[in-house]
């Protein structure tokens, strides 16, 4: 059994990184993730973590630094949010294309303009096609557990893709919750040693990484990334199951977490901290409603979701981001895998606006009326 501490989400992430015993950390501050790397800098300074801590001049440099470090065969970490993640955009493709098992936490924050430092999912949704695995957390305990699992997932020889661990800025990053920290020796035994499989930069054995891929080979590289994402659909549940056996905690099968779905007439599909509010509404107000919490947005567990929603009276998604000129991203992916199921779409909580109990009840009403199937319904908006 571990020890329970009352900490915020950023500390949970940093404690997990320390427990995994990373070798290189690249840091550039941006609200609301800054405390993650601040905590890690303290761990390094006081000798709790033996790691190279690199102060860089931008988020672009932060991701570039961990790309270079990971290519030498060491375990790495960085963190960012919002415009910082947007500045990394160019290099995210390089990290995944080089098949580097980088882990990065993102304290989800709205993108400007207007300037906004509060939570929505527009930053990570904008990066959903960069071939990074994306795992979303509901609680601070889940942040800690997911960061640990992320290294096992990323470093699996059938996957070898970078992972974003995403959690809601301020709602989780700065909010105190009880979190159980496991003994570090047990965490390190669970994660194992990182051994580069295909490539490692070494002056004694020179090799070229990330060379030109012309028309004769580029598609093959991209097809292999696609296949790796499909493999992640198998590996993520395996790691989640092993974690549960060892530490007694799991999150559904690691891809989705159904709640009260079997007997529900109405099913809500959502991600992140709002799932806690939805569970409260189900327990206290609407026992005929179920929730499918999507933990893995990439790879998207569409077939699993389709099996759960087929035959339901009403289904509705809650998106904390929008794809302007089209439909919101979570709704779009659900419909792509369940084209014969009528699914309503709602948008809520942009820019950190609270998603209240009454808002969840309105979402349910939208689903029951069959609204929002070809145009999203904006919840608690004044225009």
CA dist list (Å): 87 to 26, 124, 231, 293: 15, 12, 29, 29
142 φ, ψ to 5°?
-70, -35
Q: What is the pTM of this model?
A: 0.98
From its phi and psi, is residue 372 left (phi > 0), alpha (psi between -120 and 50) or beta? left
Q: How far apart are CA 167 and CA 148, in angstroms?
A: 14
Residue 295 has pLDDT above 90, yes or no: yes
Lowest mean per-residue pLDDT among 204-218, 224-238, 312-326, 351-365: 204-218
Quick one: pLDDT at residue 206?
86
Q: How far apart are CA 358 and CA 364, in angstroms?
A: 10
pLDDT in tens, 68-123: 999 999 999 999 999 999 999 999 999 999 999 999 999 999 999 999 999 999 99
Q: How far apart are CA 305 and CA 328, in angstroms?
A: 17
Contact 337, 305 (CB under 8 A): yes
Q: How many helices (H) and strands (E) does the chain have?
A: 13, 15
Residue 301 has pLDDT above 90, yes or no: yes
Using DSSP bridges, classify how beta strands 266-270 and 289-294 pair: parallel, antiparallel or unpaired. Answer: parallel
Residue 236 CB-half CA count within 13 A: 31
Residue 222 CB-half CA count within 13 A: 10
The mean per-residue pLDDT over the stretch 278-306 comes to: 98
- Mean pLDDT (the chain) is 97
Residue 198 has pLDDT above 80, yes or no: no
Assign 202 a pLDDT band (cuts: 50, 70, 90).
confident
Lowest mean per-residue pLDDT among 130-144, 187-201, 251-265, 321-335: 187-201
pLDDT in tens, 148-180: 999 999 999 999 999 999 999 999 999 999 999
- Alpha-helical runs (H) found in 273-356: 274-284, 302-309, 329-337
Q: How far apart are CA 379 and CA 383, in angstroms?
A: 11
Assign 205 a pLDDT band (cuts: 50, 70, 90).
confident
pLDDT in tens, 249-273: 999 999 999 999 999 999 999 999 9
The C-alpha angle with vertex 34 and arms to 30 and 38, in degrees rounded to 5, equals 145
Assign 203 a pLDDT band (cuts: 50, 70, 90).
confident
Q: Which domains does the chain have, with CATH numbers?
A: 3-247 (3.40.50.970), 257-378 (3.40.50.920)
Residue 1 has pLDDT above 90, yes or no: no
């Amino acid at each position: 059994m571990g020890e329970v501490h009352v900490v915020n989400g950023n500390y949970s992430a940093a404690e997990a990184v320390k427990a995994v015993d990373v070798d290189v950390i690249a840091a550039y501050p941006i609200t609301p993730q800054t405390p993650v790397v601040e905590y890690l800098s303290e761990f390094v300074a006081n000798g709790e973590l033996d790691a190279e801590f690199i102060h860089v001049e931008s988020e672009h440099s932060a991701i570039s630094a961990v790309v270079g470090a990971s290519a030498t065969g060491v375990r790495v970490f960085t963190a960012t949010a919002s415009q910082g993640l947007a500045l990394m955009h160019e290099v995210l493709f390089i990290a995944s294309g080089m098949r580097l098992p980088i882990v990065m936490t993102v304290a989800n924050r709205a993108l400007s303009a207007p300037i906004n430092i509060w939570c929505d999912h527009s930053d990570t949704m904008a990066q959903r096609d960069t071939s990074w695995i994306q795992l979303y957390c509901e609680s601070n305990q889940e942040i800690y557990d997911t960061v640990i699992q992320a290294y096992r997932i990323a470093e699996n020889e059938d996957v070898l893709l970078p992972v974003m661990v995403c959690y809601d800025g301020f709602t989780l990053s700065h909010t105190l919750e009880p979190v159980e920290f496991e003994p570090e020796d047990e965490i390190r035994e669970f994660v194992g040693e990182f051994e580069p499989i295909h490539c490692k930069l070494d002056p004694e054995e020179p090799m070229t990484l990330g060379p030109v891929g012309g028309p004769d080979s580029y598609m093959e590289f991209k097809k292999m990334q696609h296949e790796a994402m499909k493999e992640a659909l198998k590996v993520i549940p395996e790691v989640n199951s092993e974690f549960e056996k060892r530490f007694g905690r799991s999150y559904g099968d690691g891809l989705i977490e159904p709640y009260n779905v079997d007997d529900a007439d109405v099913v809500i599909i959502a991600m992140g901290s709002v799932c806690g509010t939805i569970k409260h509404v189900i327990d206290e107000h609407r026992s005929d409603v179920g929730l499918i919490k999507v933990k893995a947005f990439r790879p998207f567990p569409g077939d699993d979701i389709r099996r759960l929603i087929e035959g339901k009276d009403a289904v509705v998604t809650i998106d904390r981001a929008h794809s302007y000129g089209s439909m919101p991203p979570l709704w779009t992916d659900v419909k792509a895998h369940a084209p014969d199921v009528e699914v309503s779409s709602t948008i809520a909580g942009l820019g950190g606006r609270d998603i209240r109990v009454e808002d969840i009840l309105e979402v349910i009403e939208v689903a029951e009326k069959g609204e929002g199937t070809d145009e999203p319904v904006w919840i608690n908006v004044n225009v």
